[in-house]
Amino acid sequence: MKTPSSTRLVVADDSLLFRRGLSLLLSDAGFDVIGEAGNPDHLIALVDSDEPDAAIVDIKMPPTFTDEGLRAADEIRKRHPDIGVLVLSQYLEVHYAMTLIASQPGGVGYLLKDRVKNVDDVGDAIDRVVNGQPVVDPGVVSELLARRRTKNPLDDLTHREREVLALMAEGRSNLAIQNSLFISPRTVESHVRNILTKLGLEGTPNDHRRVLAVLTFLNA
């Protein structure tokens, strides 16, 4: 795992105020912000020339302010498969998160802009995409888990299993779950196995495929 001090970042957001603030916050937190962009073209050019470890991208950018960030993420991953992309969004919408995660095998993340209230959360997400892992905002996951269902398969899960499922859906690895919940690797594995069995999902060691399977299940 790379240390924050060595992680080189590019930040793209059309709002100068937010972009500057985020760059300063991340710099303060030990990240190396090597460039800022206000639009997708500039972002791609920066990424091409400076090859950062990760790009932080606003989902809405010029010219149409719809899903430029998602398309920029695709473009960056296509050109530089080892550069992580963290898409920041003001929208708590499963659709955008699913679209992003489904389009890339890891290394991409969808995070609410609100998370900047805690730089550790942002830093953690950056580390994960840099390491090729998927990141799904906890708010998106909790919306999925909270969905009302007539016959809710989640009712069969224990409280702890639901916690584990939420972390799985956020894209956490078993190791991260273990650290997060202070439980043993064997306990994590057993929880994960139980959850997958109860939900009728196939077990898969790959974090990305696992998160996708869980998200798809929860969104159904």
Partner 1 sequence: MADTGDRAFLPTTGSWLRGADGILRTWVLTGLGLLALVFASIEIIVGIPQAQPTSLVVVVNAMVGVSFVGSSIVAFKHRPNSLVGVLLAATGLLWFSQALLLVGTSWALSLGLVLDGLFWAPLSHLLLSFPTGRLDSRANRVIVAALYLTLPVGNLLSVLFLDPITAGCPECPPNLFMVADDPSLFRLMVLLDALAGAVLAISVLLSLVHRWRKASEPMRRILRPAWWALWPAFCAAAILVASDFIRFPSYGTVVLPLVNIALAVLPIAFLVGLLRTQLDRSMVNALLVELEKGPLQPGRLREAIAEAAGDPTLELALWLPGSQIFVDDQQRVVADPSTSSSADRSVTSVQDSDGNPLALLIHDPALLADPLRVEAVASAARLTLENERLHAQLRAHLEEVRASRARIVEAADEARRGIERDLHDGAQQRLLALSLALERARVLNSTANSPHLEGLLKDMSDDLEETLAELRELARGIHPALLTDEGMGPAVESLARRAQIPTRVVSMPSARFSPPIEAAGFFLISEGLANATKHSAATEIVVKAEANENWLIVEVSDNGVGGAHTGAGTGLRGLEDRIVSLGGVLKLNSPLQGGTTVSARIPTTPQGQGPK
In one-letter notation, the amino acid at residue 46 is L
Q: Which of 53, 67, 170, 207 binds partner 1 (CB under 8 A)?
A: 67
Segment contacting partner 1 by CB under 8 A, of 39-47, 139-147, 172-180, 190-198: 139-147
Which residues, at least 6 apart from 52, have a Cβ–Cβ distance to it below 8 Å?
Answer: 8, 9, 10, 34, 35, 46, 83
Cβ-based nearer residue to partner 1, 62 or 203: 62
Q: Does 62 engage in binding with partner 1 (CB under 8 A)?
A: no
Stretch that binds partner 1, among 34-42, 114-122, 163-171, 177-185 (CB under 8 A): 114-122
The candidate with the shortest Cα–Cα distance to 135, out of 42, 207, 66, is: 207
Q: Which stretch binds partner 1 (CB under 8 A): 77-85, 108-116, 157-165, 207-215?
A: 108-116
Residues in 13-32 that interact with partner 1 by CB under 8 A = 15, 17-18, 21-22, 24-25, 28-29
Tell me whether residue 70 or residue 177 sits nearer to partner 1 (CB atom).
Answer: 70
167 binds partner 1 (CB under 8 A): no
Task: Tell me how many residues contact partner 1 (CB under 8 A).
Answer: 33
Is residue 114 close enough to count as binding partner 1 by CB under 8 A? yes
Residue type, 41: D
Q: Is 66 one of the binding residues for partner 1 (CB under 8 A)?
A: yes
Give the residues lining the site for partner 1 (CB under 8 A): 15, 17-18, 21-22, 24-25, 28-29, 60, 65-67, 90-96, 113-114, 116-119, 143-144, 147-150, 219
